[in-house]
């Protein structure tokens, strides 16, 4: 009888040890997958911010749609200013330009050769791991200190890029977003920075 009780207790201890190990290990595995997926989404958001900044540099506003943004990158050009000559220590760059010591040359190059070179633009609008869902994009103007300021925002909800992962015991608000820019503040920063 005593041996039977010890055997049952040993089996119970092994089962409990496994359950504790599995619980801790599954949390660690989830964290790894979460960080990996967030990293991929953030990388795409950084590329989209770069594209928006180049668009604004030429159009003086941000793109409201992916069609407008990617159309610009594929078929339009950007200005590149090249300074020829060296600015002496005793002068500012503007003074050197006025005196003809430094020349500025503005040329146009294809945006696709400069912005996001070698990337598949058509796939950039899709949220990784979401099964084909598209980033939310918006652009417009807000008034800040009585001045109209151009703003944009590109975002993805956690529920979109964590699709397929079990999140029931992970204490994650799936309505939270990873985003770059803001429709309320004049910023191009990401909320992960």
Res. 36 pLDDT band, cuts 50 70 90? very high
Query: Coil, helix or strand for 5?
Result: helix
Q: What's the confidence (pLDDT) of residue 24?
A: 62
Domain that holds residue 153: 2-62+119-181
Domain count, the chain: 1
- Residue 107, in any domain of the structure: no
Residue 25 lies in a domain: yes
Question: Mean pLDDT in the chain?
Answer: 88
Crossing angle between the packed helical segments 2-59 and 66-75, to the nearest 10 degrees: 60
170 has pLDDT over 80: no
Please check whether residue 43 lies inside any domain of the structure: yes
Cβ atoms of residues 46 and 180 within 8 Å = yes
Confidence band for 16, pLDDT divided at 50, 70 and 90: confident
- Tell me if 92 is assigned to some domain: no
Q: Does residue 12 sit within a domain?
A: yes
pTM passes above 0.85? no
The reply to whether 11 falls in a domain is: yes
Residue 111 lies inside a defined structural domain of this protein: no
Does residue 149 or residue 9 have the better pLDDT? 149
21 belongs to a structural domain: yes
Contacts of residue 168, defined as CB under 8 A and 6 or more positions apart, other chains included, come to: none
| Pair 170, 140: CB distance under 8 Å | no
10 Å Cβ neighbour count for 97? Answer: 16
């Amino acid at each position: 009888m005593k041996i039977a009780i010890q055997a049952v207790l040993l089996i119970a201890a092994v089962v409990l040890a496994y359950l504790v190990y599995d619980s801790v290990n599954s949390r660690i595995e989830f964290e790894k997958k979460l960080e990996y997926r967030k990293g991929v989404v953030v990388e795409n958001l950084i590329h989209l911010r770069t594209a928006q900044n180049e668009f604004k540099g030429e159009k003086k506003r941000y793109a409201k749609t992916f069609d407008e943004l990617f159309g610009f990158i594929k078929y339009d050009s950007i200005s590149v200013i090249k300074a020829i000559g060296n600015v002496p220590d005793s002068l500012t760059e503007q003074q050197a330009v006025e005196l003809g010591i430094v020349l500025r040359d503005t040329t146009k190059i294809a945006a696709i050769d400069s912005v996001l070179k070698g990337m598949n633009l058509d796939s950039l609008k899709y949220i990784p791991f979401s099964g084909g869902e598209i980033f939310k994009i918006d652009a417009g103007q807000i008034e800040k200190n009585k001045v109209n300021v151009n703003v944009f925002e590109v975002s993805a909800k956690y529920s979109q890029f964590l699709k397929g992962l079990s999140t029931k015991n992970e204490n994650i608000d799936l309505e939270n977003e990873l985003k770059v820019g803001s429709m309320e503040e004049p910023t191009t920063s990401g909320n992960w920075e």
